[in-house]
Amino acid sequence: MQRWTLVIHGKVQGVFYRQSAAEKARALGLTGTVRNLENGDVKLLAEGPEAALEQLYSWCQQGPERAQVDKVVVDKSKASGEFTDFIVAT
């Protein structure tokens, strides 16, 4: 089990990015959280098997239809097990 922290840069706020990312993560069986950052980026923490995290990473590079993703920065570490679901932080 791994923990990936993704920071998504681009036009990713106000385009349902967080909700769409949470739905994708849940469908992949991942746990974690996603939230908006003050600078306009989105930060996503996800834990689960590497194969599922790779699928989520690929999805994040595109995002929902109205998003314009410039880049996704990923930091990989060992899973903490602190999450029981995938939630959208407010």
- Annotated catalytic residues are 18, 36
Angstrom distances, CA of residue 41 to CA of 26, 52, 67, 74: 21, 22, 11, 13
CB 21 within 8 A of CB 86: no
d(Cα 74, Cα 90) in Å, to the nearest integer? 22
